[in-house]
Structures are given as structure tokens and as C-alpha cells.
Amino acid sequence: MGPRQRSRKVTDATALIACRLSDGLLSPLGVWEQPDGPAGDTWRVPTAEADSAVRDAFARYRVVGLYDGAYVLTRHALNARRRVSTAGIQIAKDHPDSPRKIDALVAAVLAFEARADAIAAGIPAEPADMGGWTF
């Protein structure tokens, strides 16, 4: 979950997005992104805080998979662009050094993929309030 330094002033964000097995609900558990302005010049993802959020998720939910509708998720989704490559269609930033983050969207896609894999593996979904989350 460590951030990557893209350019001198743009650092990747980090996101932890949960997806409920029973109905596919996506829920951001933590999104850490570089603030605008001078406060962001030396900013790095608080890895201890992000790691703690992962440990808390395992303590609170029945996590059945971990793959590295909130405002931040919507904003990151709107920042994404479709990119066609030889590997197929991908989601990407408008350019590699863009300050407009898409990390929460990527985390949501992985959480939803983890859900699909759990269902395909036959892991039973519990009632919505009981758990069965993927990340």
C-alpha cells in the first residue's frame, strides 16, 4: 500500500475500499491523498495509519479476500480516463503526473473483483449486517 512518487510534486494516493459479498455495496474504509498547495509538497501516505485501517478491517469484518458510493470514490471515478492498449481497455489518469487521483476507483474495482472471485469460489454470503467483505 505504499505510495509512488510520480514527479517532484505528485504522489500517488492510497485507498482501502470494501465490497460487501451479499449485495456488492462498495464502502471506502480509508482514502489518503496528497493535499493541495504547500501542505502537499512533502506529503507522503501515512503508511502506519493505512496499515492500521487494514488491521481494523480484519478485526471488524469477516474478510474473505484482500486485493491491494462515497464522494471521494465518485471524484476518483470521474477523474479516470479510458485508455486502449494492446492489453485491452484500461482505466488511467489523464496523464501520469496528473494531480487528479484515481486510486480509490482502482481499489473499488479490485474489491469488486475480489467479491466475484469469492462468489465463484462458493463462499456463502451472510446477511448484509453480518459481514462477508472483500477488499
Would you list the domain boundaries of the chain? 14-68+108-134
Cell numbers that stand for 57 in this block: 478491517
pLDDT of res. 12: 67
pLDDT of residue 3: 47
Q: What pLDDT is stored for residue 6 in this prediction? A: 47
Q: Report CA torsion sign: 121, 127, 128, 132.
A: negative
Q: Are 107 and 72 in contact (CB under 8 A)?
A: no
Query: Any idea how long the chain is?
Result: 135
Per-residue pLDDT of the chain (135 residues; tens, 9 = 90+): 444 444 556 666 788 888 888 888 888 898 888 888 888 888 888 888 888 888 888 888 888 777 674 556 667 766 788 888 898 888 888 888 888 888 778 887 888 888 888 888 888 776 555 556 665
Predicted confidence at residue 133, as pLDDT, reads 63
pLDDT (0 to 100) of residue 4: 47
What pLDDT sits at residue 134?
64
CB crowding 66-82: b at 16 or more within 10 Å, else e: ebeeeebbebbeebbee
pLDDT at residue 68, as a whole number: 73
